[in-house]
């Protein structure tokens, strides 16, 4: 019996290894597309990617895989839940079922609509005119709804789309969490606005040599624990990270002479993603388990390093003297405390990707609400800009000047991909939830960071998060690592304390 069992699992793992190789080859082509590919390569690259991804999908959803899963589920019924074997069977089953539920024509139609949506969105954004994009968005909403119907759901169509990116999470759970955030953050944002003068960040715009910024950022992420024997840094318009294999987890960054934050914090963010990939267990390589538990959990790792570590006082106590020696002119007369305050400036702004820690989640809440209303037919396409602007005013206190800085700013609605945005907020919340447990387990964490020692911290994340890859759903992972499912409380406590102190808010207002 034991021989038969290992034979079937061996067969499944051979198929999964092929699927993984095809997907990883596609990742490398995508990386190249965003970094070095000449403009003329667009058409050929789209064809290559489509071929590779189609082959991977066909292989994963084949009858052969279905039969192997049926047998293996029986044979491994008593295997420990967290064993590699039981987890490979369980997670492959989830991917297989979802893949089989979506008809090939629907996938093709969605891919086509996405490629048509991109130029419509670009033109509309360029002209700041939502009406140019309305028809494409209408089509995308319809396709999102058909995908939700094909996948199936109990209560709300969004459940199906959310479950695809954040397995096990429901719209209702998330709506309750967002509501809690709204109650806490809207007054905090208003309070900070009344004390806006407390933080001055003018020195961040004083001019920083780009080459020096790049080498400084690379040195910092190396010292955090990003392994350059198994990674590299390149330039791209939009920074991203790519986990191609355990030996190859890359980051890209961008650099601006006129604004310091972009290169360093962008590099730390992407290195946080890539350190996650570098820490995944060897036993799950070339299986569906070798990936982040979800986009939200992946984002928790980048936000953890970027904000909870990189924007902390102990971090700058360690790094500021060396930064100042690299940029003596731009940082003349600026002390460590002033610099720490500057990189934490909070101010409502129109563009999500530029938003600070406090205001960021409000941008996501707004999109979560609108996606749900569109999907359920409660909001007409033509009314999107008005709904956007009204909510923006109520959550962040700003009057949106035009659609470019409003409903048209993100690329996400140009393709068929509702359900992705919440991952950004989940990432923020999870980073604080993990940090709360890290502090309990490593009481001298701040002293270690002040000394520039990050190995114990990285070791904790490796053991509790990284090594598991996709073995667990987000809530299973959080229960194991922190004893609780996803909660907004640690994050709310963290921003109230940090920004209350930064802006000199009263305890009542801040607490």
Please list the active-site residues.
270
Sequence-separated (6 or more) residues with CB below 8 Å from residue 259: 204, 205
Residue 302 touches Zn ion, criterion: CB under 5 A: yes
Separation between Cα atoms, residue 89 and residue 257, nearest integer Å: 50
Separation between Cα atoms, residue 37 and residue 11, nearest integer Å: 37
Nearest distance in Å: CB 295, Zn ion = 8
Q: Select 92 or 278, whichever has its Cβ closest to Zn ion.
A: 278
Separation between Cα atoms, residue 371 and residue 374, nearest integer Å: 5
Q: Select 270 or 403, whichever has its Cβ closest to Zn ion.
A: 270
Nearest distance in Å: CB 265, Zn ion = 11
Residue 475 touches Zn ion, criterion: CB under 5 A: no
Instruction: Return the structure tokens found at 449.
Output: 């960071």
Separation between Cα atoms, residue 511 and residue 497, nearest integer Å: 8
Nearest distance in Å: CB 434, Zn ion = 15
Sequence-separated (6 or more) residues with CB below 8 Å from residue 48: 29
Separation between Cα atoms, residue 13 and residue 400, nearest integer Å: 52
Nearest distance in Å: CB 188, Zn ion = 24
End-to-end C-alpha distance for the chain, whole angstroms: 61
Q: Select 27 or 509, whichever has its Cβ closest to Zn ion.
A: 27
Q: Classify strands 248-253 and 241-245 as parallel, antiparallel or unpaired.
A: antiparallel
Specify whether the CB–CB gap between 336 and 315 falls below 8 A: no
Q: Which residue has the tokens 């902390």?
A: 312
From 229-237, 295-303, 343-351, 443-451, span contacting Zn ion (CB under 5 A): 295-303
Nearest distance in Å: CB 217, Zn ion = 16
Q: Select 138 or 410, whichever has its Cβ closest to Zn ion.
A: 410
Q: Classify strands 248-253 and 233-235 as parallel, antiparallel or unpaired.
A: parallel
From 55-63, 98-106, 287-295, 301-309, span contacting Zn ion (CB under 5 A): 301-309
From 60-68, 293-301, 354-362, 468-476, span contacting Zn ion (CB under 5 A): 293-301
Binding mask 84-123 for Zn ion (x = CB under 5 A): ----------------------------------------
Nearest distance in Å: CB 494, Zn ion = 19
Rg (CA), the chain: 23
Counting residues that bind Zn ion (by CB under 5 A) gives 2
Nearest distance in Å: CB 306, Zn ion = 8
From 206-214, 220-228, 292-300, 409-417, span contacting Zn ion (CB under 5 A): 292-300
Nearest distance in Å: CB 292, Zn ion = 10
Residue 470 burial (CB count, 10 A): 23
Nearest distance in Å: CB 471, Zn ion = 21
Q: Select 157 or 239, whichever has its Cβ closest to Zn ion.
A: 239
Q: Select 163 or 299, whichever has its Cβ closest to Zn ion.
A: 299
Residues of span 178-217 touching Zn ion by CB under 5 A: none
From 24-32, 99-107, 190-198, 294-302, span contacting Zn ion (CB under 5 A): 294-302
Separation between Cα atoms, residue 45 and residue 51, nearest integer Å: 10
Residue 20 touches Zn ion, criterion: CB under 5 A: no
Instruction: Return the structure tokens found at 494.
Output: 């963290």
Sequence-separated (6 or more) residues with CB below 8 Å from residue 194: none
Q: Select 361 or 389, whichever has its Cβ closest to Zn ion.
A: 361
Task: Compute the C-alpha angle 204/205/208, nearest 5°.
Answer: 85
> Which residue stretches of 61-170 are H helix?
63-75, 84-101, 104-127, 131-151, 157-165
Specify whether the CB–CB gap between 66 and 8 falls below 8 A: no
> Which residue stretches of 195-312 are H helix?
210-224, 261-278, 295-303
* Closest to 270 measured CA to CA, from 242, 310, 290: 242
From 200-208, 299-307, 323-331, 382-390, span contacting Zn ion (CB under 5 A): 299-307
Separation between Cα atoms, residue 17 and residue 19, nearest integer Å: 5
Query: Order of strands across the sheet with 241-245?
Result: 233-235, 248-253, 241-245
Residues of span 224-253 touching Zn ion by CB under 5 A: none
Specify whether the CB–CB gap between 375 and 144 falls below 8 A: yes
Q: Select 139 or 298, whichever has its Cβ closest to Zn ion.
A: 298
Q: Select 295 or 385, whichever has its Cβ closest to Zn ion.
A: 295
Cβ-proximal residue to Zn ion, closest one = 302
Specify whether the CB–CB gap between 297 and 273 falls below 8 A: no
From 144-152, 193-201, 296-304, 498-506, span contacting Zn ion (CB under 5 A): 296-304
Which residues of this protein are in contact with Zn ion, per CB under 5 A?
A: 299, 302
């Amino acid at each position: 019996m034991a021989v038969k069992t290992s034979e079937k699992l061996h067969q499944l793992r051979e198929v999964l290894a092929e699927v993984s190789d095809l997907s990883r080859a596609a990742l490398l082509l995508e990386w190249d597309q965003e970094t070095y590919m000449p403009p003329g390569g667009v058409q050929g690259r789209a064809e290559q990617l489509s071929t590779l991804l189609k082959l991977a999908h066909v292989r994963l959803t084949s009858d052969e895989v279905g039969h192997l899963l049926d047998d293996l589920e029986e044979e491994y019924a008593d295997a420990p839940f967290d064993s590699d074997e039981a987890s490979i069977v369980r997670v492959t089953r989830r991917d297989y079922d979802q893949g089989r539920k979506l008809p090939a024509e629907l996938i093709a139609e969605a891919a086509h609509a996405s490629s048509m949506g991109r130029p419509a969105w670009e033109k509309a954004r360029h002209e700041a005119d939502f009406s140019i994009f309305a028809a494409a968005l209408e089509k995308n909403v319809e396709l999102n709804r058909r995908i939700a119907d094909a996948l199936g759901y109990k209560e709300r169509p969004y459940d199906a789309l959310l479950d695809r990116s954040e397995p096990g999470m429901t719209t209702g759970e998330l709506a309750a969490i967002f509501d809690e955030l709204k109650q806490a953050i809207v007054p905090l944002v208003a309070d900070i606005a009344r004390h806006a003068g407390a933080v001055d960040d003018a020195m961040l715009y004083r001019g920083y040599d780009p080459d020096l910024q790049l080498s400084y950022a690379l040195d910092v992420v190396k010292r955090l624990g990003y392994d350059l024997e198994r990674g590299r840094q390149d330039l791209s318009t939009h920074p991203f990270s790519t986990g191609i294999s355990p030996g190859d987890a890359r980051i890209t960054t961008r650099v601006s002479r006129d604004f310091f934050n972009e290169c360093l914090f962008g590099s730390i963010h992407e290195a946080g993603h890539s350190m996650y990939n570098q820490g995944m267990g060897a036993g799950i390589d070339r299986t569906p388990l070798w990936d982040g538990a979800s986009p939200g959990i992946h984002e928790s790792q980048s936000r953890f390093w970027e904000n909870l570590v990189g924007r902390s006082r102990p971090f700058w106590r360690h790094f500021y003297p060396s930064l100042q020696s690299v940029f003596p002119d731009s940082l003349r007369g600026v002390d460590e405390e002033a610099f720490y305050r500057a990189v934490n400036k909070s101010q409502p702004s129109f563009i999500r990707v530029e938003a600070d820690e406090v205001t960021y989640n409000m941008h996501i809440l707004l999109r979560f609400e609108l996606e749900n209303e569109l999907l359920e037919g409660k909001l007409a396409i033509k009314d999107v800009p008005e709904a956007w602007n009204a909510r923006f005013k109520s959550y962040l206190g700003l009057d949106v000047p035009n659609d470019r800085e409003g409903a048209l700013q993100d690329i996400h609605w140009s393709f068929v991909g509702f359900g992705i945005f919440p991952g950004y907020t989940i990432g923020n919340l999870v980073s604080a939830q993990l940090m709360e447990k890290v502090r309990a387990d490593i009481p001298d964490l701040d002293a270690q960071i002040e000394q520039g020692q990050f190995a114990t911290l990285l070791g904790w994340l490796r053991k509790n998060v990284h090594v598991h890859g996709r073995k667990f759903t987000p809530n299973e992972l959080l229960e194991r690592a922190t004893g609780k499912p996803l909660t907004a409380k640690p994050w709310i406590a963290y921003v109230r304390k940090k920004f209350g102190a930064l802006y000199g808010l009263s305890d009542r207002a801040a607490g």
